[in-house]
Amino acid sequence: MYRAFSALFLVATLSGCATSWVVDSNVKSFATPGTTVPPGATYRFERLPSQQADTARQDGLEAMATAALDKVGLRRDDARPQYTAQIGARVTAALSPWADPWLYGPGPWGYGYGGYSGYYGHRWHGGGWYGGPMFTPPANPWYQREVSLVLREAGGSHRVVYETRARNDGPYSSSAAILPVMFEAALQGFPNPPPGERRVNIELTPAAKK
Query: What is the pLDDT averaged over residues 93-109?
Result: 59
What's the mean pLDDT when you consider all of the chain? 77
- Residues in the chain, how many? 210
Name the region of 98 (left: φ>0; alpha: ψ -120 to 50; beta: rest).
alpha
Closest CA to 27 of 202, 191, 160, 182: 182
Residues 6+ positions from 121 with CB-CB distance below 8 Å:
91
- Quick one: pLDDT at residue 49? 93
Tens-place pLDDT, residues 104-122: 554 433 333 233 333 333 3
Burial classification of residue 52, based on how many CB atoms lie within 10 Å of its CB (0-12 exposed, 13-18 middle, 19 or more buried): exposed
Closest CA to 111 of 129, 137, 96: 129
Tens-place pLDDT, residues 9-62: 444 444 444 556 899 999 999 999 988 899 999 999 999 999 999 999 999 999
Share of the chain above pLDDT 70, in %: 68
Helix (H) or strand (E) holding 148: strand 141-153
Tens-place pLDDT, residues 150-174: 999 998 889 999 999 999 999 888 9
Cis peptide bond N-terminal to 137, omega within 30: no
